[in-house]
Structures are given as structure tokens and as C-alpha cells.
Structure 1
């Protein structure tokens, strides 16, 4: 049906008082963006971040095998997993969070993903297969492969890596409750993803999650203390480990339905900071995510002892409403939390808004911000506006997702993308030789399709310079929550 016909028909029907059947769609059906295309690309990105032996169905074909001896320094198999961003280190803390958020994306919105559901599951499994290896020994988690300082002194492809593949672990003597509890959360969340499609794998994941959480809770301590020279300042835990213990318990409660975890949350929630006013959700601080997750138990499952989490979640929502004292937006309308990789907070916040809107809708509830009533529809519109900005509705008319739309970042801070691929240049590119490329103005030869970069500054400016890692570097934890958000938007506009 042509657009002209549909509008004239619509006018006729409206003017004749025709009553429309209410559909369960929350947006009009003409989208300014192809959310389905963006969804496909947001998942494809993870193939560009793979470490290890690549499968025969690898679609990001300029990448090849890498890190095939990872773990050998400590006689363990740590081959696989993801490089977190534009370097060649495997950091377990953000990798686990990425896996949790990919899983949550599928748990909430996987039913809408159609053909992309299989690809999303593959992305999760690439993470969980590695996390199972990293937690194979009781009371021990291998949390990092690669010496970050030495890695950052080189600009080389993962396939050429010759920097030390040092292995770092937490254990009873050097605990790391935040990385352990986040790993438990990832395994528990993923167990829900595979519950129907692969029950055997799901059972392996949940059993491991239970064991890893016990270790996190029993041997309390921050991995930033135990491994400070190696994990800081890269993925130092600034928020402490209390938020991860609450978050991990929330996921184990959801995955096991064991009353032990609900009891744990009720007894420890306040001590673990459930009511704190920290409204930044990302790889370091999980408090807001735990609040939203637990609010569902109260709103939908009617677990009245978790009543407070609705209030805590409402406080988070009220902190975001434009005009509230704590919300900062760029002149172009982008939520702005901090200059270093701000887009990670945009994607994580948008996901939480859509998820909370879903819970509020199911329970016929709204949010009260002082005298203002905030409806689920308003939360969805706020999330959509953020995603639309990311995809190109911004002052620069630039998509911050590589490969989406006509204009996107061409010089991202990413070694594999910026250097010629093995297929084009089979010879080894030495450690420092790559810096000629890093410092050049030439566009990256390999398109890391779907990668979302750190994004513009607070004045909507984006220089597109490779050396500017704060704005130009992509990361797995930027994309992970976006997967669920794009699935929802693609479905609500009839694109899926």
C-alpha cells in the first residue's frame, strides 16, 4: 500500500469515527531508522571482538585466529572469549558484564528477535564458554589474559600478538568479589537464555554460577586491591563489590527460584547499598540494574518484601527526566554522564528504561517524580530518542554505529580494524610499526560493522580521530545492552 493511500485511508477512517483496535505496539509505524539493520549489526560486532579459534561460520572475515596459547603461562586453557575494546587484552570483569547484558537483552526481548535470536545466543555462548574455562577450578577465577601496559605500548593486530600473555587470577588469598559475583551473574543470566534451547548447557551454567557466587560472597575483597598494578586504571573497581553481590544474588534468585537468594537479598540489601543514589549503570556499578531487576519481582511476581526496589527504581527514572537536577544532556539531546566512553551509559540507560517500562506496563503502574507522573510510554520515548541520536539524529548527522547509515566514524581506535588484515598483508606487523597507522588520518581499512564508539562530547562534537580513545573506541559493554533495545524498537515499528 502506498504511503499516500495509507494516509488518505487513515484520514477517512478517523473522520468517519472508526474505532481502531488497540494493538500492542507503542510507536507509530513509520520509523526514521532501520532498527532491524542496526540490530543485525550490533550483534555482528561481537564477531570482530572474538579471541581464539574462529568457527567456520565466522562472518567478520577480516579477523583470524588469535591468542591460541592463552592460559599456558599458568597451564590452563583460556583460549577464546572477547577482547573488550580496541586492544588485545582479555579483561574478565567487563567481559562478564557484557555477557550478563547480552543475556538480559535476550531474556527481555529475545522473543522479538526472529532470525537474530540465534546470532545473539552465539554471542552469549562465546562469552560463557570462556567464563566456564575461567572458573574451572573451585575458589579461583582467571580474570585477565595479557599485560595491559605492555599491550598498550604496541599497536598490533591480535593475530600478530607478541606481547606477554600474562594470566591473572583471584582466589582465596587474593579475593575479587566484584569480578566473581559479576561472573556468577553472567552464568546465571545465560542459563536462562539456554534453558529451552540447550537444557544440558543451561544446567552446567547454573551449577557453576552457584559455586562462583559462593566464592564471591564467602571470600570478600576487591580485585582492585589484589591485582591493582594489572587491572588499574583499566578496569579498576571504583564502586566496590557490594553492588555485584546484590546483582549476582538477584540473577541467581531469578535463575534458580531458590528462596535462599531472596532471603540473602532481604537480609543484605541495605548493607550492600540497595538504596544509594548512584544512578550510573555500567561495567563498574550494578546497583541500578539490580534495582530494576528486583522491581520486577515486586511489580510482576508480587513479592511484597521487595517493595522498596520499586521506589529505588523510580528514583533512578526521576534522575533522568530532562529538567531534573541530576540529568545532564547535550544541546542535541544526548544523555551525558562522562567524557570517557559516554555512549556506554546511553545504551545501558536506554535498555533499563525500556525494561522498566515493560514491568510497569505489566503491573499497570506509573512513576511519580514529585508532582509529575511519568508513564511507561514516556520512558520508551526517552529511550527511543537516545537510540535515534546514536543512529544519526544529532547535530553532526552522524551515526555512532560503524557501518550503519551513510556517515559514521571511519578512524575508530581499534587495532584490528585500523591495520591491514592478514588476507591483505600476510606478513607480521611489528609492535611499534603500527603506530604509523594509528597516528595517520587514513580511514580504517577493515569496517568493524556494528561497533558503537565512545561518542560525542558534551557539546555534541566528535573529531573522529583514532588517537582519541575516549570518543573513538568501541567496547563490548557499549553494544551488549543496545541489542535488546534495538530488538524492541525494530519490533514495535513492525520491522521484525
Structure 2
């Protein structure tokens, strides 16, 4: 008589015979040389949400496929004061001003995320590209006139004196520009970087748009380089203290040239970097990467040209990039980074999470370049492998997602516990659908100062984060810790795509 086995018994036997190959929950064992088999976090879910956030920050006429449905059209006459169309783009954070400097940096970092890790994003790639295009469409409008960039829409001081939805905005939509007489090499250099980086994102899927972006990037960079000066000199009363250029403009010229070299392969830019690199601060020992200071990003980007494309004239950038890495490694000879008791990289009390996301992205990106070149980082005799860099980056992302003393996710809408009172006008006030009548400028402060949770969940928003002792009060008035911003999310998109892929979630 033939032996009859139930399907369940067969599965048990199969598991027993092939335990080394299969995990007996019916899923193949996922082997990755850098990570354990099981992820504690759903990086794919976090990736989806990190991109969705940008739809909540949109200004202008919203498209039919808008997914953040509590938002409505806003800023539809932006630019009219100067007879230019500046409708669109993003609100940078929890207010209703469009600041061109951080918007351009956000665009560059979203683009770099897609350039390095877009191939892993699967279904989210299209959403990421739409987030980039929402910004580049606006940046093309802002650079439509030669030797002029419209760098801000809105009067920040008057905007901050109100607590109102973008849909109700009635504060002045003042238009601020840079030109030959009022230069701004920092914001112009970053805008050139954004357009050049985005041109690489659309090179295959929309070659016509890609060529438009790169041509504009070339023109904008020429303007940035020819008419030199920080934009906060001439525009101080409008842009400071909000987005003052504290680090000068040299870093943006180096960064812009690096992106144009990558986008065009024109030897002019390589020569520009070779001739001007030192005077533009290539070797300065600064280890903060964000909307203001791009030196570290430029070093990492240019080190790829040396490590992967074998451009010998950029040899020094490997050393400059290594210096940055060594500054971050706890216990390494040149370590200078501060960490909270819970293990979070801590740079400053205001919007610290932007440095966590940007540094995590750079660590994963540099690890990718080092792996391609079969090399490592040497920190005063201590060898730092790409695997170590990935481990450090993962630890930072995991802290952000909830592995911290408060068990708090600093991404809104991710995990069981996340900030409920974020410093964000649209999220904190009832939506137009729930409250069609206009909410006046000052009447919104009653809600801003109340302890009630925000009625609209700004899914995917990364907030400023905890203080240096891992504390987080979750108060709307505490903008340093509770305000989200586009430039905190942008680098995280790439990091989450890498981690989701590593753990077989994508």
C-alpha cells in the first residue's frame, strides 16, 4: 500500500530536509551579506510614506491624482506681483512660504536618491519622479529669465504672524529675486545642481524634458559663477534668519559644478573643479551636510568619479570623503560627532533630524561606491568597511522609525506611536472639506496653542526630532522639534529604498 501523507506532513518533512535552504514559515531565507535575515521595520511602508509626504507640501493647482486629499489648491496667483508665473513648487515646512534655496536642495537630494537607489524602488519610482517633477517644473519657472532667479514667494515675517491654511492665505505673496545687481551664487549654484541632477532622473523616461533641465542648469551655473556673492547679503531682511547662507556660496559652486560634470560629461566642469576646488573649500574640515553646506556632499559625489569612473584628477576627493566618514565613527581616531544616549547623531537642537537623514544617505551612497571600487576607509590605522557604514546608517534610520528610548517614530503615520501635534498649519487646522469657511489669520493661533492632536495626518513627514537627551515633548509650538520639512525627507527616500531592498521588502 502506498504511503499517504497529508500536505501538511509533506511540508513539515520538506522543511526538515531543507532547513538550511528554507525558513519554515514558507518564505525563502533572504541572504544579504550586510544584514540579518529579518527586518524589525517595514522599510517599504516607510518609503511609500516618505514620498507621499511631498504631496502634502504641494503649492499650486493640485492634480486629479492627488493622494493627500485634505489639501486643496493654493497660491494660484503666485508671481503675479512681478508679472511672472510662479505657481507650484513646495512649501518648505509648516508655513506657507516658498523658499527657493531649501526647495532646490530638496530637489537635488530627491534626484540623487533616485539616481543611486531608484532601480530598487519598484512601484515607488514613479511617485518619486513625480515628487521631483513638481519641484523642477517650478524651478524652470523661477529661472525663466536669464541672469535672474526668483528665490522666494511670500513675506516670511508676515506669514509667521498668521496661523492659517495655505488654502486661506491672505498674507503678501512678495516675490524675491536675485540678479546681476543682487547676486546669490549659493541659491543659484544649488538651483543649477537641482536641475542637473534631475536631468539624469528623466534622461531615459523623458529625454526632451531632461535636455531642457540640463540646458537651464548650464545657464544658471554660469550666472552663479559670474556674479558672485551670498544671497543673504542683498536680501537679508527677507531670507534671514530663515534661510540665511551661513556657509557662504563656495560650497554651492563646487556642488553645482560636480552635478554638471556628472550630467554633461563636459570636460569644462572637470577642469573647473580641478582649478577651483581648493579655493571653493574642497579640503575644509566641515562635517555637516544640509540645505546650507554642501561641501561633504560634493566630496562624496566627486569621489565616485575617482573610485568608479576612474577619473585620476579627483583622487583627493576620496581622502576628503574619508575624513568626513572618520569624523562620524564612534571611537575612531578623528571622531568628532556627537550622539544622544540613545544613539542618535546630534548636530543641533533645531531640526536635527535633517542631519540624520542626510548623513544616513551619504553613508549608504559612499558604501556603494567603495564596494564598487573594492576599497575601504582608513581612519588613522582603523579600517572602516562599507558594511560598517551601512550598519551605522541603518541604526540611524531605525532610531528615526522607533528604535529609541521613547519608542517613538519620528515619521508621522508610521508605527503605533508618532508625533500628533506637529508644527504645521495645514495639518493642525481643520481641512477645507471639514470647515469650508475661511479661518482668519490670527484665529488659527487658538488651535496652534491647544493641546489637541492635529486633525489631518501629514503621512510620512519627518519632524525635527528629539533633543540631545532623547526627549521629545510633542508640542505644536516647539517648531525646533516638531516641524517637518521637505529637506528632512528628501535624503531619507534613498536610504529607505536601499534598506527595503536589502531586506527583500521590494
TM-score interval for Structure 1 and Structure 2 normalised by the shorter chain: over 0.9
Q: 1:468 and 1:82 mapped to 2: Cα distance?
A: 22
1:34-90, CA deviations, whole angstroms, 9 ceiling, x for partnerless residues?
000000000000000000000000000000000000000101000000000000000
Does 2:489 correspond to 1:479? yes
Q: CA RMSD in A?
A: 1.8
* Corresponding residue number in structure 2 for 1:54: 62
Q: 1:422 and 1:22 mapped to 2: Cα distance?
A: 46
* Cα contact 1:419–1:445 (8 A) shared by 2: yes
Does 2:392 correspond to 1:382? yes
Gaps of 5+ in 2: 1-7, 23-27
* Corresponding residue number in structure 1 for 2:229: 221
Q: 1:170 and 1:380 mapped to 2: Cα distance?
A: 40
Does 2:334 correspond to 1:334? no
SS at match of 1:478: helix
Normalising by the residue count of structure 2, what TM-score does the alignment of the two structures yield? 0.95
Distance of aligned partners of 1:418 and 1:310 in 2 relative to their CA distance in 1, 3 Å threshold: same
Normalising by the residue count of structure 1, what TM-score does the alignment of the two structures yield? 0.96
C-alpha deviation, 1:371, in angstroms: 1.8
Q: 2:17 and 2:89 mapped to 1: Cα distance?
A: 53
**Larger Rg, first or second structure (1 or 2):** 2
* Corresponding residue number in structure 2 for 1:139: 147
* Corresponding residue number in structure 1 for 2:415: 405
1:406-442, CA deviations, whole angstroms, 9 ceiling, x for partnerless residues?
0000000000000000000000000000000000000
Distance of aligned partners of 1:352 and 1:428 in 2 relative to their CA distance in 1, 3 Å threshold: same
Distance of aligned partners of 1:419 and 1:266 in 2 relative to their CA distance in 1, 3 Å threshold: same
C-alpha deviation, 1:26, in angstroms: 2.8
SS at match of 1:236: coil
C-alpha deviation, 1:9, in angstroms: 6.8
1:198-221, CA deviations, whole angstroms, 9 ceiling, x for partnerless residues?
000000000000000000000001
Moved more, 24-33 or 475-484: 24-33
The structure 2 residue matched to 1:260, chosen from 265, 268, 273, is 268
1:277-316, CA deviations, whole angstroms, 9 ceiling, x for partnerless residues?
1100000000000000000010001111101000000000
- Map 1:14-163 to 2 at 5 A: 26-163=34-171
The structure 2 residue matched to 1:392, chosen from 402, 414, 420, is 402
The structure 1 residue matched to 2:451, chosen from 441, 453, 467, is 441
The ranges of structure 1 where at least 4 consecutive aligned residues each deviate by more than 2 angstroms after the TM superposition are 3-14, 20-26
1:1-48, CA deviations, whole angstroms, 9 ceiling, x for partnerless residues?
9x999997786579xxxxx99966532231000000000000000000
Q: 1:159 and 1:114 mapped to 2: Cα distance?
A: 33
Does 2:279 correspond to 1:299? no
SS at match of 2:400: helix
Distance of aligned partners of 1:22 and 1:314 in 2 relative to their CA distance in 1, 3 Å threshold: farther
Q: How many residues align?
A: 490
* Corresponding residue number in structure 1 for 2:257: 249
Does 2:329 correspond to 1:321? yes
SS at match of 2:414: coil
Q: 1:265 and 1:6 mapped to 2: Cα distance?
A: 60
- Map 1:265-276 to 2 at 5 A: 265-276=273-284
Q: 1:99 and 1:9 mapped to 2: Cα distance?
A: 52
* Corresponding residue number in structure 2 for 1:17: none
Q: 1:71 and 1:11 mapped to 2: Cα distance?
A: 65
Distance of aligned partners of 1:433 and 1:380 in 2 relative to their CA distance in 1, 3 Å threshold: same
* Cα contact 1:25–1:492 (8 A) shared by 2: no
SS at match of 1:334: coil
* Cα contact 1:156–1:415 (8 A) shared by 2: yes
